[in-house]
Structure 1
């Protein structure tokens, strides 16, 4: 049965993209599956001159004139219909019948509000060093990719969970949105969150978050650590810089400039929070 004929939507994929005028990218994402079997909501951040339209019943499109990945995620959550939602980027490829381990995991973990899964790289290797069994997410959430996050829509809305719109690609701080979102999840004692060791999606081996020696990353990560740890932020800054030195990702003569970037990230976050 075509999913557009169903009155209940068990799973909806929430896709973030930018400046699209054609649905061609969706067919690439679902090349291992029958596209008509899935319900999809696309948030297309674009301009009024570059709109995306869908004539397909199971694919909805919202053209948004805002910027920022976190804003896209929040808009998708507010407009989703699915009982269970799966976050998606426009450069992933879903494994064949990827929905089965997702739905089966929620059937087994009956108290779960959020479940994250595994990503396979395009060279057929695990994206990360994943646990080999179902585990509470509080032991693993710092390494989770957004494309691995699924959730019960009603639970997220009920608990007013949102992505911090100051963080994420296209925002002031271009990293850290997943960490902050899941940090709120594991702090909330009303939410049950798990990791399930099932592959659902394929992605290139590197992501924007892997560029850990860049000014962009250090600027964002310093702001994130200030938000999380306040006056103890510099412990995390120095630990990050020491790690970069140890791994030879930066040189000693770059340390001073990296500390300045970190300080600017902290200052920018403070200014934004205090309305300066």
Structure 2
């Protein structure tokens, strides 16, 4: 069972090397790394040169934009399973073996997803379900993020590609959600995807300080969240639910005197609604 791992990268060096190092340590060895380089320098090709004898590397270039890069990478896929590691994530040594075993034991599965943890094995990048689940359109938000999604190539081909108006670097108001939108396409096509909390991919927690950078990220990411809700015709009661959660967090943070956190939660709540009503 061969994996095609599509990694888009821009502006990172040491993080890319960390991912490469983790791939060199995988117990399952049948994989290719498809590097989609968006840099204007040779920082990534230098890393590739150091690891070119460790595993198969396919090098591509694309215009800026995460979804654009992944669509370029999809054209180079030759494996049975496709995944989308971030350039600042890393795989524990048995990740690919774990996923290969799941697919090997359950032929009806088109996808396996896992959760995100930081270097100390604590949850990162949001809330995560603690029990195994069959992924559906309502639990998907606590069952998947881009670098924890593994899909059979057949199901990837059925969806076609990522919406290039969504995601980091898209140039739109919708700075996230492209991977959930893509996975919803897999579900809508009738494929079965299972979430396994024992499948853990490492990624640093992106927000450690509530500053202007965090607020800008919150606007883009949550507006993208709302846009995906709109594109996939989620009912109003669910939109209100996902907006109410950070709104409640805002109130609690005010009561605790944490105004920075309160502001972030308010940004999250309002931009989820704005993304849902924004028709572009």
Q: Per the alignment, do residues 112 and 215 of structure 1 end up closer, same or farther by CA in structure 2, a change over 3 Å counting? A: same
SS in 2 for 1:30: helix
Inter-partner Cα distance in structure 2 for 1:225 and 1:27: 34
Alignment match, 1:193: 193
- Paired residues for 1:134-149 under 5 Å: 135-138=133-136, 140-143=139-142, 144-149=144-149
Inter-partner Cα distance in structure 1 for 2:188 and 2:79: 25
Contact 1:174 1:217 (8 Å CA) reproduced: no
Contact 2:82 2:152 (8 Å CA) reproduced: yes
Contact 2:27 2:93 (8 Å CA) reproduced: no
Question: Post-superposition shift, 1:99?
Answer: 1.5
Question: Post-superposition shift, 1:101?
Answer: 0.7
Q: Deviations over 1:42-100 (max 9, x none)?
A: 111123x5485456371111022x11111122222222111111210111221123211
Structure number with bigger Rg: 1
Alignment match, 1:43: 36
SS in 1 for 2:35: strand
Inter-partner Cα distance in structure 1 for 2:218 and 2:94: 35
Question: Post-superposition shift, 1:250?
Answer: 5.2
- Paired residues for 1:241-256 under 5 Å: 242-248=247-253
Alignment match, 2:6: 14
Alignment match, 1:274: none
* TM-score normalised by length of structure 2: 0.72
- Paired residues for 1:1-276 under 5 Å: 10-19=2-11, 24-30=17-23, 32-33=25-26, 38-47=31-40, 50=42, 52-53=44-45, 54=48, 56=52, 58-64=56-62, 66-127=63-124, 128-133=127-132, 135-138=133-136, 140-143=139-142, 144-160=144-160, 162-171=161-170, 172=172, 173-188=174-189, 190-204=190-204, 206-207=205-206, 214-222=215-223, 224-226=225-227, 228-229=229-230, 232=236, 235=240, 239=244, 242-248=247-253, 262=271, 266=275, 269-271=278-280
Q: Per the alignment, do residues 191 and 38 of structure 1 end up closer, same or farther by CA in structure 2, a change over 3 Å counting? A: closer
Question: Post-superposition shift, 1:119?
Answer: 3.1
Q: Per the alignment, do residues 167 and 14 of structure 1 end up closer, same or farther by CA in structure 2, a change over 3 Å counting? A: same
What runs of 5+ residues in structure 2 fail to find an aligned partner? Answer: none
Q: Per the alignment, do residues 28 and 240 of structure 1 end up closer, same or farther by CA in structure 2, a change over 3 Å counting? A: same
Contact 1:226 1:266 (8 Å CA) reproduced: yes
SS in 2 for 1:89: coil
Q: Deviations over 1:101-145 (max 9, x none)?
A: 110000122111111123332112344433333x21115311212
CA RMSD for the aligned pairs? Answer: 4.1
